Amino acid sequence: MTGYLARRLGQALLILLGISLVTFVLLYLLPADPVRQIAGRSATAQTVENIREQLGLNLPFYEQYARYLGALLRGDLGRSYLQKTEVSALIASRLPATLLLMVGAIGCELVVGLTMGLIAAVRRGSFLDNALMIASFIGVSAPQFVIGILLLYVFAVQLGWFPIGGYGTFQHLVLPSLTLGLLGSGWYARMMRSEMLDVLRLDYIRTAHAKGLKGWKVLIGHALPNAILPIIAMIGIDIGMFMSGIVVVESVFGWPGIGQLAWQAIQRVDVPIIMGVTLISACAIVLGNLLADVVAPFIDPRIKAR
Amino acid sequence: MFETTAPDRGPAAGRPVGAPSVIGSLLRRPPAVFGLLIIGVVVAAAIFAPLIAPFDPGMQFFEGLTLQGAPLPPNADFWLGSDLLGRDLLSRLIFGAQTSLVIGIVANGVAVFIGAVVGITAGYFRGWVGAVLMRFTDLMMSFPALLLAIVLAANFRPTLWIVAMVIAMVNWVQVARVLYTETRSLAEREFIEAERSLGASAGLILWRHILPHLVSTIVVWATLGISTTVLLEATLSFLGIGVQPPTPSWGNIIFESQTYFSSAPWLVFIPGAAIVLLALSFNLVGDALREILDPTMRGNFN
Amino acid sequence: MRNQLLAPVALAAILAAGTGAFAQDEKQGGSMIVTYKDDVSTLDPAIGYDWQNWSMIKSLFDGLMDYEPGTSTLKLDLAEALTISDDGMTYTFMLRHGVRFHNGREMTADDVKYSLDRATDPATQSPGAGFFASIKGFDAASSGDAVGLEGVTVVDPYTVKIELTRPDATFLHVMAINFASVVPVEAVQEFGADFGKHPVGTGAFKLEEWTLGQRLVFARNADYWKAGIPKLDQITFEVGQEPTVALLRMQSGEVDILGDGIPPAQFLEVTNDAAYTDLIIEGGQLQTGYITMNVNTTPLDNVLVRRAINMAINKDRIVRIINGRALVANQPLPPTMPGFAPDYEGYPYDVDGARALLAEAGIPDGFTTELYVYNTDPNPRIAQAIQQDLAAIGITADIKSLAQANVIEAGGNGSAPMIWSGGMAWIADFPDPSNFYGPILGCAGAEAGGWNWAKYCNPELDAKATEADSITDAAMQSKRVQMWRDIFLSVMDDAPWVPIFNEQRFTMRSGRLGGPDAIFVDPVHIPVAYDYVFANDAQ
């Protein structure tokens, strides 16, 4: 296991290196000049050249990249071109909100999605099953903006149960998590249903059932662990995805997460922020997947982590 | 509670299935017939759009907007209402089916195919093959796709095929992750080990014994993927790589109008319903197919 | 036309007197909440150049000059008197005594010089450095060959002398722009690059709290040198707020001003609702939305084609598409700018006439071109309306809807034949017609990377512009304005642009706030002159 982990972490470093190179190349190819964004619309040619030189953007590509990597090795993500603030401080200020929303959203997805999936599997072919199927598809097809505003309007403006957006307390977390949770739960519901149906047909489940074990005991004790494997993989994917920030939901709920930071940086070609956020989310994605792979053997002992 | 779970009611259970009997079985299932019908209608709409659309989808009608510039709800002239530029929503939906079908079926199909090949191969062979494939998957998952889209947008003429390619490129990874996990578990079960010790080739085991158990997962991802890719197309086109205005797609109709959903709900909910309906139809057909083809339905598991 | 520059002799007297209109008797106290969609990047006055930080910086800092609140009339601010030499090349500012920075130290002439030196120092990377180009020693300072501006000298602790290399009619406007705000040297040195997050100025408010990505809290500067200003004790700016949700919050009484205005998607709902009529204030702004036609590309190099396009666009319909939030334009200058020609008729909307012009140009069947547009609503919609109008005279315009930075790049390097400027359009930095010429229609802006996306360069007009801007004599101001008027009408003859509309601003404020309407749609303190807003519940 230790050897496996060490190997995986080594591979993770390679991935991060690859991502940093790819992102740097893309930003270099991007036909939008960050210097122009800094210098603004009234700048003289002299100002533009000065800034280009100061930021080292007049250097050949490999030299710029080498400089960036060098700083990165010292733990320096650089300073934002436009805000002048350290990128690490900007990311750190938004990381807690992003983490919270990730936990809230995944929690919601699991509770809603797995329940839906279980019920649908057990009541297979019933009206309820069909209704849940339709609900799943509506959720997956619904635009986050619309669902977010609708939830806000009903539960915050009309009923006054929650604040109208913002960040700070548990109350603030509910609606954004619910928005992401409802929309994402369709995936979990459909996967859960399909896995449960497969598992419920297995002989040993029938045997357990025949031995007189109570229905729900069979369900929770035997069927669920066997069905949950792909769900673990999906959680791993979601960790990475939510850590990269969810622009729309963050903006609807005024949630100070990484997504808004990244989106504004992309619009204005703020290279250090884009690089920083991309690397942080790559870390999260790699770790999320690693986590899923490491956890899987504990759920399903047949798998060996190797 | 468990009575309803008795699953084996597929008419094809227990005997080999050929193509004609598959179609026959499909047609004997009302949900599948409904799904096929909807898919047929959408495909026909896309192919014959110029013939059936009541108006030119790009035509901005003077009377399509109120004097204050608000779009019109469904009415006698514009059956599904007009959009924010005074164009006929029905005509735009009909023409939009062309774009959205290519994205939802082709791009999404390619993504699922790549994901399945990578995930199953990596999960079955493990070792360095698996490591390389899955680390490549991690890499692609972290890939800054939006940035790629922006770079492509500025350097190429935007076309549907670029956006389809980008979607296929970014969307296969989740499928690969999930199928990898499932295959990894399946590959270690006794019946696979037994096949191996009997000298069955990897290809045979994968095709005969592993793949059939993954069909239901693949159906889930392929059908839900229709919805997400159709919406993703709008985001990517917004960045300039896909279909450009005034070409309609179901995704971009929603995307352009979503902030107006409280004053013009028809612009969001009608195309949204179209997407849900299309994805659901594929799901109904997919589920039926799985039931017909699934070996576990025929009781030869273990 | 209003005349904004005053005779050097009379200047001191008139400007110094200009304090009155808003020093009313409203009590101080109370607070308000303002929302913005985008984060505030910096509050460093030498760097900040965004919609949301522009007016915030004006509340934290002061400069030598400012404008009467709610107007574009210049007045003295940190300077209490001013003399201008007869040749218009030397300005001497006498500073107010006893003005203190937020850190308690008194502001002196050294700070003024330091601030101007800093804004032009290449290491500061100020986007506003170019505004100071007429100051003696600018070239040496901005290239890094010299430290500081040779032309700015400290005469005594309360007197600063600024020498120019040429008469510059816009110079006092430049002294009123954010980039010329006075900053204390010790605070800049203490915080270094982070000064923008720890601003220290002499302004009406001081920064009390900044939670990155969430909110900024401004507290009243109790020692502010303007008696009775500001009115409010506290302003909270909440950032990262989706405008649609901000509106919901406002309707629930949680928010007092929507910094980004009424969201376009809810505009009709709100304005058609009688409950909000009293809370919405409409005002003009120094902005024009236009289509540029790159004069270096065929067939747009043919003036007949450009005129034909000017006649082909149905501007009324475009204004209708954006729910009437603008006035149709027929010339580059907005109506409230000196030099605007109210009697100019412009190109009529005449499809047949446009076709005839195209035929005269030798391309009766039209041609294919590209129209670049910034991808946020309503700009792609406006581009589609333009596209349909062009199709009516046989021109096929393929739309390229891209991120803002990409459109700006394509415009700057000249690869875009046509651009709809919406969302990136010119809003004047200061209320003077020259600001609408040099960067966007003059030869200097036509260089690679410049904002003159039509790449229009008419040396004759450039010479005329220079001549107009060297008129600093107050008695000649109407002549200067007349010259600018003629310059812009000559531009219209060459038709590098299709001016489409001048956007109106609609500010919605809560009933808790009071103040003259003009400060809520202030033409310079954009979007709102915070210092003069008062709270009704404190009265």
C402 beta partners: C374
> How do strand C396-402 and strand C368-374 relate by DSSP bridges?
parallel
Does residue B158 sit at the C interface (CB-CB below 8 Å)?
A: yes
Contact A280, A240 (CB under 8 A): no
Residue linked to tokens 């009379």: C10
CA distance C501 to C426: 12
* Whole-prediction pTM: 0.90
First-last CA distance in chain A:
8
Residue of B56, B61, B85, B148 for testing the chain C interface, max C β-carbons within 10 Å? B85
Indicate which of A36, A38, A42, A54 best probes the interface with C, i.e. most C CBs within 10 Å of its own CB: A42
> Between chains, do C125 and A90 touch, taking CB under 8 Å as contact?
no
Taking the C-alpha atoms of residue A252 and residue A273, their distance in angstroms, rounded to an integer, is: 22
Euclidean distance between CA atoms C134 and C472, whole angstroms: 13
pLDDT at res. C2: 31
Put simply, the chain C residues between 229 and 268 with a CB less than 8 A from any chain A CB are 238, 240-242, 244-245, 248-249, 251-252, 254
Of C266, C324, C380, the CB nearest to B68: C324
Encoded tokens for C466:
């220079």
Question: Of C53, C248, B22, whose CA–CA distance to A175 is shortest?
Answer: C248
Chains within contact range of chain C (3+ C-beta pairs < 8 Å): A, B
Could you tell me if C209 lies within 8 Å of chain A, comparing CB atoms? no
The reported pLDDT for the residue numbered B241 is 84
Whether the CB-CB separation of C437 and A36 falls below 8 Å is answered with no
B263 and C CB contact within 8 Å = yes
- Phi, psi angles (nearest 5°) of residue A201: -85, -15
Q: Measure CA of the first residue to CA of the last residue in chain C; give whole Å.
A: 37
Q: Retrieve residue C33's tokens.
A: 């909440």
Strands C31-35 and C257-258: parallel
Strands C418-420 and C368-374, by their bridges, are parallel
Side chain identity, residue A236 = G
Q: Which of A216-225, A273-282, B233-242 has the lowest mean pLDDT?
A: A216-225
Q: Do B158 and C385 touch (CB under 8 A)?
A: no
pLDDT at C18: 43
Residues of chain C with pLDDT under 50: 1-21
What the block records as the tokens of C429 is: 């930095």
Tell me the residue type at B15: R
| Predicted confidence (pLDDT) per residue in B214-228, tens digit | 988 999 999 999 999
**Segment A30-52, tens digit of pLDDT:** 888 888 888 888 777 878 888 89
Can you tell me the distance from the alpha carbon of A4 to that of C22, in angstroms, rounded to the nearest whole number? 73
The one-letter amino acid at A56: G
CB contact under 8 A, B177 and A236: yes
Q: Between chains, do A194 and B150 touch, taking CB under 8 Å as contact?
A: no
How far apart are the C-alpha atoms of A230 and C309, rounded to whole Å?
A: 59
Nearest to A83 among C41, C122, C449 (CB): C41
Report DSSP letters for C18-52, one per residue.
TTGGG---PPP--EEEEE-SSPP----TTT--SHH
Say whether pLDDT at B270 is over 90.
Answer: yes
Within the 425-454 window of chain C, which residues sit less than 8 Å (CB to CB) from chain A? Answer: 429, 439, 447, 449, 451
Looking at residues A136-152, what average pLDDT do you find? 92
Buried b (16+ CB within 10 A) or exposed e, B207-235: eebbbbbbbbbbbbbbbbbbbbbbbbbbb
B88 forms beta bridges with B82
Cα separations in angstroms, B104 against B31, B163, B173, B232:
21, 12, 17, 10
Predicted-complex ipTM score: 0.89
Contact at 8 Å (CB) between A116 and A136? yes
Interface probe for A, chosen from B136, B170, B178 (most Cβ of A below 10 Å), is B178
Q: Nearest residue of A to residue C435 by CA position?
A: A42
| Distance of alpha carbon C492 from the chain centroid | 22
Verify whether the Cβ–Cβ distance A215 to B1 is below 8 Å: yes
Residue type, A97: A
β-bridge partners, C373: C401, C420
Task: Name the minimum distance, in Å, from the CA of A135 to any CA of chain C.
Answer: 26
Q: Note the pLDDT of residue C460.
A: 95
Cα nearest neighbour of B130 on chain A: A306
Strand, coil or helix: B152: helix
Q: Taking Cα atoms as reference points, which of C113, C215, B159, C372 lies closest to residue A93? A: C215
Nearest-Cα distance to chain A for C214, in Å, is 6
Q: Is the peptide bond before C230 cis (omega within 30 degrees of 0)?
A: yes
Q: Do C410 and B154 touch (CB under 8 A)?
A: yes
Residue C253: Cβ within 10 Å count? 10
B69: pLDDT strictly greater than 60: yes
Contacts of residue A194 in chain B, CB cutoff 8 Å?
216-217, 219-220
Alpha helices in C192-297 (DSSP H): 243-251, 267-271
How far apart CA B105 and CA B108 sit, in angstroms, is 5
Distance CA C238, CA C122 (A): 32
Q: pLDDT tens digits for B153-206?
A: 877 877 888 899 999 998 999 999 999 999 988 888 877 888 888 888 888 888
Percent of chain B past pLDDT 90, that is, above it, reads: 56
What are B209's two structure tokens?
Answer: 């014994």
What pLDDT is recorded for position A198?
Answer: 80
Question: What CA–CA distances, in Å, run from B114 to A147, A195, A232, B101, B176?
Answer: 32, 22, 21, 19, 8
Q: Which residues of A fall within a CB distance of 8 Å from B220? A: 187, 190-191, 194
User: Which of the residues B170, B188, B213, B220 would you substitute to probe the A interface, choosing the one with the greatest number of A C-beta atoms within 10 Å?
Assistant: B220
CB contact under 8 A, C129 and A47: yes
**What's the full length of chain A, in residues?**
306
* Chains in touch with A (≥3 Cβ pairs < 8 A): B, C
Q: Which of B220, B231, B280 sits opposite A194 (nearest CB)?
A: B220
Name the H helices within A201-246.
203-210, 215-218, 224-227, 229-243
